A = this chain, B = another copy of it.
Amino acid sequence: MIELSKAEFEVLDAVWINYPATASEVIARLSDDKEWHEKTIKTLLSRLVKKGALSFEKQGRQYNYTPCIAREEYTLKESQSFIERFFNGHIAPLVSGFAKSEQLSQHDIDELKKVIDDWEKQQK
């Protein structure tokens, strides 16, 4: 599995919004939430390329970056390893923890029900 740092993921996340994307586009997308220096973001883009999370094509003197993995794929892998580490591979205890600490809204519950519904339909 490609291992990304927190900051690297956030940059990749900005590319996922819409790609291919140039460095300046990524910098623009991040400028609202982050106080990162332009140079910092470019460093992170390079590291993402080096790690195989981004590819690029030259367009004049700029690069057009494209993710090498889908967001869903990456977050699934991360979720698996998270749940493995903290809950021995079982997802229910995580949800249960949220429930106990009153972190769940009716909306969350509805969404969860739908997930379960869909799962059961698909079983048949």
Q: Which residues of A contact B (CB under 8 A)?
A: 6, 9, 72, 75-76, 78-80, 82, 85-87, 90-92, 94-101, 103-104, 108-109, 111-116, 118-120
Contact = CB atoms under 8 A, between A and B. Distances in A.
A69 to B, nearest CB: 14
Nearest to A103: B80
A104 B120 CA distance: 11
A76 B98 CA distance: 7
Dominant SS among interface residues on chain A: helix
Given A6-B85, A85-B6, A85-B9, A92 B115 contact: yes
Contacts of A97: 72, 75-76, 79
6 tightest CB-CB pairs across the interface, nearest first? A92-B111, A76-B97, A99-B119, A75-B86, A96-B115, A95-B115
Contacts of A86: 75, 78-79
B99 A118 contact: yes
